A and B are shown apart, each in its own frame.
Chain A
Amino acid sequence: MFSEIFLFELKYRLRRPVTYIYFALLFFLGFLFMNIMGGAFKGASVTTGSKVFMNSPASLAPVIMALNFVGVLIISAIMGNAVYRDFEHRTHSLLYTTPIKKWEYLGGRFLGSFLITMLVLMGIGLGLMAGELPWPWLQPEKFGPFNIMAYVQPYLLFVWPNLLFIGAIFFSLATLTRNILSTYIGSIMFLVLYVISQNLTQDLDNQFLVTLLDPMGSAAAEFTTKYWTVAEQNNNLLPLNPEIMLNRLIWVSVGLGILAFCYFRFSFAFFASEGKVNRKAASEKISNVSATTRFILPEAKPTYTGFQSLSQYWRLLKLEFLGIVKSVYFIAIVFAGLAALLAFGAQVGKMYDTNTFPVTSEVIGGLTASFYLFQLIIIIYYAGELVWRERDNRMNQIYDALPIPNWVPFASKLSALMLVQVVLLALVMVCGIIVQIAKGFYDIEPLLYLKGLFGLKLAGLLILCVLAMLVQVVVNNKYLGHFIMAAYYLFTLFQGQMGIEHNLLRFNFGPGVQYSAMNGYGHFIVPFLAFKIYWAAFAVLLAIVASALYVRGTETLLKWRLKVARTQFSRSSGLVSIAAILIFLTSGGFIFYNTNVLNEYTGGKDEQKEMAEYEKLYKQYETSPQPRIVASNLNVDIFPEERNFRMKGHFWLKNKTKVSIDSIHVNTNTEMDIKKLALSRSYKNVHRDEKNGYYIYRLSKALQPGDSVQLLMDLLYETKGFENEGSNTNIVYNGSFFNSSYLPSIGYNSEAEISDEDARKEYGLAKKDRMPSVYDTTAYGNTYISHDSDWIRFEATVSTVPTQTAIAPGYLQKEWMENGRRYFHYKMDAPILNFYSFLSADYKVKKDKWNDVALEIYYHKGHEYNLDRMMKGVKASLDYYTKNFGPYQHRQVRILEFPGYASFAQSFPNTIPFSESVGFIADIDDADEEDVDYPFYITAHEVAHQWWAHQVIGANVQGGTLLSETMSQYSALMVMKKTYGDDRMQKFLRYEMDKYLSGRAREDQKELPLYKVENQQYIHYQKGSVVMYALADYLGEDKLNGAIKEYLNAVKFQEAPYTTSVEFLKYIKKATPDSLQYLVADMFENITLYENKANEPTYQQMKDGRYKVTLNLDAKKYYADSLGNEKEAKMNDLVDVAVFTYKKEKGQKVGKDVPVYFEKQRIKTGQNKLEIFVKEKPSKAGIDPYNKLIDRTPGDNLKVVTKV
């Protein structure tokens, strides 16, 4: 009997065309994805290279899992239907009275559907596999050898077990509730679990919990592979580690548990009846006598006017709207969504695990992002419910024959769905305000809520509603409609890579809108509105099509519906269509004029082409001798309202070579409109290439060594209309910040070359190293900042509107008003790098002093929260750096806030622009040891750059950023340690370690040892932090600082040839005892990884009251090559060994572990057995407890000590 039911289920599914449609769609998704990633669309999109193969296990597993998210819909459609369809088609009373057993019925149905779904889901894997075939349009270098296990493993570990779990939920819910809608509760449950686990991943402390919580197991897989290098990603299958196994075990067990529950709850007897026994039956008095009265109805004349159609529309709208919001599932989704919202709200704006204040813009951004998925689900799901509502209730024939105009039913349903979006956003707003108040933050901006939610977010949602309804009407199959919408959503994520870049072609898209407290929504509003009007007009057309095709009557074939639509198309819908078409074309034209006529439309691909052309044309001049910029004197006029600026003035160019120079090559920024570009001597402009911005001037009389000439210029940056993507946020209404890159440079600029290997190959460019070798002395002539200057004199007059303050490096000489504009004259009294910035904004200023140095913070009104921390940071930094490194070269430090369009701070001479998003609104709880005072830390880092970059600057070779970024990082760490103590550094260092390890996993060319760093952030910042902090510990801070100071004094403000990391290491090595020379080599010259581990330590109490702790330590050291291939190295290293005891201070609720033994011990490769005697009762013990050495599993270094 079981096999009969099972086989019947299989046959039933195999006969259903939708089974094949699902399979085909998944197959297509997989195929398309592999092709996109394999470079099939390289003609249309930007080429980027990664050494990780597309078909490697580590690439395939997440892809298969992610694509299977769409599969959830299919699982719900198939598994939910297995038993439910007997209720739906009312065959249950027939079946349940046959002598089948419960297990046969449930088991047969479940397994049959399960097997079919397993096969359907294989579509993704097979599609990917088919995509991997050597199609001529793919790039073979993106693929490694075919590995069947790379496909099989994700299915065995994730896809199929997930199917069991998810399928069990859908199957059981639909079977027990006999209501197909309830299966969606299942999807919501997951979504919440998924969202919460995703959210927690940001916090390093919850890693293990996160891996367990995610029912899909992807968090566990991600956790496992996050530190994998290219070599590991290409070769390794996922290991069956505790995280993955435990996760799978939990969720498969939950799935089986649900099935068991379903089995025990199910009963034929109960379910064969109508189920609900307490349904109230309406009874009436029976009379068999016919009514004697004649059938006369009161007079009531039906009327049909436009106004009355409107009132019918309102009536239906109300009905449909209430139908949605009163439905249990809507309430469930909303509650789940709100729970997720409040969970999110609790950690607004996390950075280093430290919150920001819940300012309204952050709250809106965070909440809408996390609620978007819920809204998407509501739109997709309820579009289906609305379109099918009458049919599901079998009232369609009555409704369809009613004398309501054709537009009314569709319009009312669409409007109801739209109204729901408004209500949801209002809920988001309420949630946001609750979050703010709950956190004791009362600076609520209601107007910003309205603008951000109803002005910006709503429009896109409404347009999406139209699409979802259209899809449902056209495909006329609820589940297929859901699926197509989900697939569409995936498509939007990849359309850019398929070459669809212009927003005029990307449905519902437009240039992004960014908010900044300083600049509001700024110039983003106009393009936003233009695109939204454009897409809204298009949506109106879609709505008219959908309304015309809306199924009315029993003809569902598209052929008939099209025919009917033609005959029923009314004059008014014709008029509306024409109006919509006109608006669509007009707004489209307006947009096109802005994006493609006023501005040059360049897709990512075009930019690459131009770069290649520049290199091909002018590389020949790279070595021709050129004069160098030695002075810059500028008048910069900033026009914030027009978003323009004009730079007039001159550079002094000096021939520092030993030969005479007859022609000068000038590179201009092609965004600048050149009003004037000339030399102060007689010359001839022999080459003029405006497209690539390359000009050659032949001097009538050659420039002799030591001689100088002025480059005179008048350049205008003019903002014209708006662009398709990415507007210039350097020049804005309030908070402009642009640097010297808008000015010309001298000679061929090799920085403008394409660096991506694959792209270079595509354009036929020679292979190029990312940077010259650290030993390449020919490259020592330039710093890594500039190829045409050394140290320069600087002077500038900056003007702006009267409400704003304009700032440039140097000291303010004079400030005045002229012609309704405000002028500032700045002059620098010491030589600086050819790297400076101009800012203009409506600022408030906080002033202070450190010794003779004036301290100023220019900030946006309202952003006072962390000014004291920053000021404290500046002072502590100046204290530490002047004491340990040497004097500060300026008489002033200025911090200037700029809008949060970018999240960084940058150090210019005596001037530090600092993004509003990286500290100004941080909410630091000093009592919380886990909070990182990052406004303080970033300040310290930037102040350190006044030494490390603005005094010592490395040559343009590998390792250059070690001397600026790593050293600034080290300096800031020391200042932080001095202010906050060693303990509070732990969290920060763990972040740095994590970022280094995951950074090297994402490396797309090669990882290098620190001293050869090629401007790789994860190396010069994160590895730099970890290494330098450890070095200070091993050598002693003072000793290390002594070496650093000696080095600094030797090289600061030097002219070419510039210093390198090799020279720096000489000073370090000199200060290092022989016993630690290996350490310096491991840290700077090798990629060194440890695998240290404490095995269960034990203790014994001795007779004298002391405790003997027995430690078994595992140690291993590896050297990795640039792709992450590891080789074990012999280890005999000094490593911290520690024993802790648990101590509780008086008055404190929880105590903590404090070290009672902390020594560096020689540790050898393999097992190390140590016996340590301590006076206090040991709690934990282990090796390298503070993770000074780089170790991918830092969690097993310290273990609880147990009694023997």
Chain B
Amino acid sequence: MELQIRNLSKTYPNGTQALKNVNLTIPTGMFGLLGPNGAGKSSLMRTIATLQEADSGSIMLGDLDVLKQKEEVRKVLGYLPQEFGVYPKVNAEDLLDHMAVLKGLHNKKERQAVVAALLQQTNLYDVRKKNLGGYSGGMKQRFGIAQALLGNPKIIIVDEPTAGLDPAERNRFHNLLCEIGEDRVVILSTHIVSDVSDLCRQMAIINKGEVLLTGDPLRVMDDLSGKIFKRMIGKEELMEYQLQYNVISSRLFAGKTLVHIYSETRPDYTFETVQPDLEDVYFTQITKAQAAPAVNEVLKAMS
């Protein structure tokens, strides 16, 4: 089964254009949707999850028209929203069982087995009798994925699942995701580049409602090979470099500033060639999209 998104657009009543003519083909397996905060990831995810309408365009899940056949889509959907709460005074097992019924698992025995297995897999079995109000962020997130997995969905959407988790929790969560993403569509939206590089075989970068790039993370990194260079510079030099070069990222490193630039050729010997990672791809795309206006602004400010 494949998810096909064609010409999807959405503008909110306040004028924000959340999605601009989005086209994506998402095959089975883990698919990473990478973009900064406010890029339109959640809008896209909610639209796929039948929770939001689109102004135009279509989404097809196999033969299903997601925008019209919502009921059918929901039968094969597992959704973990970016932000969600739980009934604080209910324990994990009861709530999961309750959700299982709502997902269509009516046979009590089967349902109990599935609930138990999910609690096992998400490492929540020991705390299944504890009220959800007392769960930590990571536990709650795992509970979230457990409920999304109920009913063996064909498409799973997880929206920013690792935000705010500590490294250990994040690691565990990755393992969990990795195991479920074999034979179904799993869409993982995130602003953390390593989430995608760790887990996904397909990805898209999205910013300001537009898809900037799609492809295999390895391939897209390869495409940039030989075009990313780095150099350590003084803090005060940054502005100058930004004007002169296509600086895609800068970060502090041992008190100095490490800049990555994009260039077809090596500008001069002071720059060192780097093997591009996904982060470079990401920043290249993001800056490319923003470059033109940003530079103009700087020029204007200087004149």
Contacts and interface: CB of A to CB of B under 8 A. Distances in A.
Interface string B40-51: 000000100111
B123 interface: yes
Interface in B105-134: 105-107, 110-111, 113-114, 117-118, 121, 123-124, 126-127, 130-131, 133-134
A398 B151 contact: no
A1075 B168 CA distance: 108
B104 interface: yes
B70 A568 contact: yes
B84 A395 contact: yes
Interface in B42-101: 46, 49-53, 68, 70-71, 74-75, 77, 79-81, 83-87, 98-99, 101
Of A283, A304, A308, A401, chain B has the most CB atoms within 10 Å of the CB of: A401
Interface stretch (B172-180, B195-203, B213-221, B253-261): B172-180
A319 B85 CA distance: 17
Interface in B138-190: 139, 144, 147, 149, 151-152, 168, 171-172, 175-176, 179-180, 182
B102 A404 contact: yes
A299 B105 CA distance: 11
A402 B144 CA distance: 13
Given A286-B168, A287-B123, A394 B101 contact: no
Nearest to A309: B104
B101 A312 contact: yes
B86 A395 contact: yes
Contacts of B81: 397-398
A554 to B, nearest CB: 5
A241 interface: no
Contacts of A557: 13
A563 B54 CA distance: 11
B103 interface: yes
Contacts of A400: 50-51
A316 B98 CA distance: 9
Interface string B245-286: 000000000000000000000000000000000000000000
A919 to B, nearest CB: 55
A281 interface: yes
Contacts of A286: 168
Contacts of B87: 393, 395
Contact of B49 (A279, A303, A308, A401): A401
Contacts of B117: 297-298
A311 B111 CA distance: 14
A294 interface: yes
A416 to B, nearest CB: 15
Nearest to A295: B179
With a 10 A CB-CB cut-off, give which of B79, B83, B101, B147 has the most chain A CB atoms.
B101
B203 to A, nearest CB: 22
Contact of A290 (B79, B113, B175): B175
Given A300-B105, A395-B84, A282 B71 contact: no
Contacts of A319: 98
A977 interface: no
A281 B80 CA distance: 23
B136 interface: yes
A291 B151 contact: no
A300 to B, nearest CB: 4
A402 B51 contact: no
Interface in A411-460: none
A554 B114 contact: no
A315 interface: yes
Contact of A555 (B52, B105, B114): B52
Contacts of B103: 302, 402-403
A308 B106 contact: yes
A813 to B, nearest CB: 79
Contacts of A280: 130-131, 134
Interface in A729-766: none
B101 A311 contact: yes
B101 A554 contact: no
A300 B51 contact: no
A319 B98 CA distance: 9
Contacts of B114: 297-298, 300
B101 A553 contact: no
Contacts of A285: 126
Contact of A553 (B46, B136, B152): B46
Interface in A266-305: 279-288, 290-291, 294-295, 297-304
Contacts of B111: 300
A555 B147 CA distance: 23
B46 to A, nearest CB: 6
B50 A553 contact: yes
Nearest to B51: A553
Contacts of A560: 53
A288 B170 CA distance: 10
B113 A298 contact: yes
A564 interface: yes
Interface in A547-587: 552-555, 557, 560, 563-564, 567-568
Contacts of A281: 134, 136
Contacts of A282: 127, 130-131, 134-136, 139
Contact of A312 (B102, B107, B151, B182): B102
A789 B141 CA distance: 94
A512 interface: no
B110 A300 contact: yes
A554 B77 CA distance: 17
Contacts of B168: 286, 288
A312 B97 CA distance: 12
A304 to B, nearest CB: 5
Contact of B74 (A299, A395, A401): A401
Contacts of A284: 123-124, 126-127, 139
Contacts of A315: 98, 101-102
User: Residue among B49, B80, B131 with the most chain A CB within 10 A?
Assistant: B49
B147 A300 contact: no
A317 to B, nearest CB: 12
B36 to A, nearest CB: 21
A560 B54 CA distance: 10
A393 B88 CA distance: 9
B175 A554 contact: no
The winner among A301, A319, A397, A567 for most chain B CB atoms within 10 A is A397
A327 to B, nearest CB: 11
Given A280-B134, A291-B121, A319-B98, A298 B179 contact: no
B101 A403 contact: no
A555 B117 CA distance: 35
Nearest to B106: A308
Nearest to A401: B79
A300 B113 contact: yes
Interface string A529-561: 000000000000000000000001111010010
Contacts of A298: 110, 113-114, 117
Given A284-B123, A315-B102, A397-B46, 4 more contacts: A284-B126, A298-B117, A393-B87, A554-B52
Interface of A: 279-288, 290-291, 294-295, 297-304, 308, 311-312, 315-316, 319, 393-395, 397-406, 552-555, 557, 560, 563-564, 567-568
27 contacts: A280-B130, A280-B131, A282-B131, A282-B139, A288-B171, A291-B121, A291-B123, A295-B179, A297-B118, A298-B114, A299-B110, A300-B107, A300-B113, A302-B104, A302-B105, A303-B106, A304-B104, A308-B106, A393-B87, A395-B84, A395-B87, A397-B51, A398-B81, A401-B51, A552-B51, A554-B51, A557-B13
Interface of B: 13, 46, 49-53, 68, 70-71, 74-75, 77, 79-81, 83-87, 98-99, 101-107, 110-111, 113-114, 117-118, 121, 123-124, 126-127, 130-131, 133-136, 139, 144, 147, 149, 151-152, 168, 171-172, 175-176, 179-180, 182
Q: Which 7 A-B pairs have the closest CB atoms?
A: A394-B85, A302-B104, A295-B179, A553-B51, A290-B175, A282-B130, A397-B81
